[in-house]
Amino acid sequence: MHPILRKILAVVLGIVIGSLVNMALVSISGTIIPPPNSADVTTAEGLRQAMHLFEPKHFLFPFLAHALGTFAGALVAAWIAASNKLACALAIAVFFLIGGIASIIMLPSPIWFTFVDLVFAYFPMAYLAKNIVSKN
């Protein structure tokens, strides 16, 4: 396969796999850590109105979804890419970072979570995924 096509395939599959991991974690989060009693988490408006009721434990799964989704996607992208593995992994990080920023704009979260999410969930996970693939 042509190297450029392989890189495009790597990034597309990385986005798909990363998104599946992200959505799987988001979908199970409420069963593992139930939302506050009066919170309607089925809509964005309900989440926005209930955000003040959320405790730090309620932000664990959103962080894990962002970090592990990015990690899984970057791992796939770096594994499939014939060369420039870091660039492909970082492309996944950029894609998910844009999603994370959009999420923060739509659902304002505490400053501490915004910081932790933006600093630790995207580029460090992509770099870690690339390093794991490069060692094997």
Counting other chains too, the contacts that 9-12 makes at CB distance below 8 Å and 24 or more residues apart are 9/80, 10/76, 10/77, 10/78, 10/79, 10/80, 10/81, 10/88, 11/77, 11/88, 11/91, 11/92
Return the pLDDT at 38. Answer: 83
Return the pLDDT at 45. Answer: 86
Token duo for residue 112: 């501490």
Full domain range(s) for residue 118 = 3-135
61 with 116: CB under 8 angstroms? no
What would the pLDDT profile of 86-126 be if each residue is shown by its tens digit? 999 999 999 999 999 999 998 889 999 999 999 999 999 99
Percent of the chain with pLDDT over 70: 100
Q: How many domains does the chain have?
A: 1
pTM above 0.85, yes or no: yes
Quickly state the pLDDT bin for 53 (edges 50, 70, 90): confident
